[in-house]
Amino acid sequence: MQDDLSGTRVRLPALAISPIRAVLRRIAYACAALGVVFLLVALDLDGYKDSYDGKVSLLDALYYATVTVSTTGYGDITPVTPLARTVNIVAVTPLRIVFLVILVGTTLEVLTQRTRDNFLIDRWRSRLRDHTVIVGYGTKGRAAIRTLLENERAKESIVVIDPRGDAIEEANGDGFAGVVGDATRSDVQNRAGVSRAKEIIVATQRDDTTALVTLTARQLNKRATIVAAVREAENDPLIRQSGADVVITSSEAAGRMLGVATQSPAVSALIEDFLAYGKGLDLEERPVKPHEIGRSPSQCDGVVVAVVRDGRIMTYADQEVSSIMEGDRVLVVNAPQE
């Protein structure tokens, strides 16, 4: 686990050796120590005595190796010849110590790794401020991220939530932090720092899930801008009531684009151009500049197509925006820079 934003259950990039692999490796070492003790006893069965019947079989040798390596033994099987006792002193006792070191070391490693991981995750989460949370790393979520990156948003400021582990692995590979879990749950959203996010984009596959995710996000964060995608237009009011600031009806938007393309391919191409930032014409929202206050939209810098005032969007031809006011925001068409 790395102390950065390049991925995290909260999942961060994988360790050089995962905890599971480390434990399995130690189990293999312990089994090897047990096997060596069994082999030493099996090669000298006559050097040991069983208090039950006086004879030591291969099963007795395995039993002796097990209880001797894992404990101090029960005393029912004992070495009786000088050779057997020498082997116990020289080999069996050190192997018992090795076995205990492996056992204790594995426990300490797991506890230490867990504590370290929790510390790094808490430290990572505490540094999250004004970031963007993307719920759903499907087609819509990835497209939203591409647009953010085209608008010069840093990868370190984007956190992805998705219930699919493979989707988060893909997000990690693309350089984004990822949280595996159900985004309708507040604890999952808290792991992604939703309460301190600036923007939340909800791009799930189901409208009912979108409503629950939006409602949970709004309860955790009252100030963030929440943008949600829905499939059916009839669910738009529900998502807005859940707390979304902007709702995009994906199926209807695609349908309109198909209809426009059949009637006017040029208009369709122009809309696509607007949606691709940095290619051709760009549609930008910005605050008004001091020298634009009091002027008409046609006198502002760039081509003003609409004005946002008190949350209302009005076109440049609306009589209410014949004069730009302080606090307005304008939607401007910008030509590509030469």
Give residue-wise pLDDT tens across range 159-181: 999 999 899 889 888 888 888 99
pLDDT of residue 102: 77
pLDDT of residue 32: 87
pLDDT of residue 281: 67
pLDDT of residue 9: 47
pLDDT of residue 104: 73
**pTM exceeds 0.75, yes or no:** no
Cα 75 to chain center, whole Å?
A: 54
Angle at 285 between CA 281 and CA 289, to 5 degrees: 110
pLDDT band at 17 (very low <50, low <70, confident <90, very high): very low
Q: Helix, strand, or coil here: 125?
A: helix
pLDDT of residue 201: 95
> Are the beta carbons of 5 and 124 closer than 8 angstroms?
yes
Pair of tokens at residue 273: 């151009």
> Are the beta carbons of 44 and 64 closer than 8 angstroms?
no
> Are the beta carbons of 178 and 159 closer than 8 angstroms?
yes
- Mean pLDDT in the chain? 80
For tokens 């000088």, what's the residue?
82
Between 264 and 78, residue with greater pLDDT: 78
In this predicted model, what pLDDT tens digit does every residue of 252-283 receive, in sequence order? 666 666 676 677 777 667 666 666 665 666 77
pLDDT of residue 7: 40
In this predicted model, what pLDDT tens digit does every residue of 182-228 receive, in sequence order? 999 999 999 888 999 999 999 998 999 999 999 999 999 999 999 99
Q: Amino acid identity of 310?
A: D
Between 113 and 11, residue with greater pLDDT: 113
In this predicted model, what pLDDT tens digit does every residue of 325-334 receive, in sequence order? 888 888 888 7
CA dist 21 and 13 (Å) reads 16
pLDDT of residue 87: 86
**Range with the lowest mean pLDDT among 80-84, 108-112, 175-179?**
108-112
Q: Is the pLDDT of residue 20 over 60?
A: yes
Q: Is the pLDDT of residue 98 over 60?
A: yes
CA dist 118 and 41 (Å) reads 45
- Positions of E strands within the chain: 48-50, 77-79, 132-135, 158-162, 177-180, 199-202, 225-230, 246-249, 282-287, 303-309, 312-315, 329-334
Mean pLDDT (whole number) for 140-164: 88
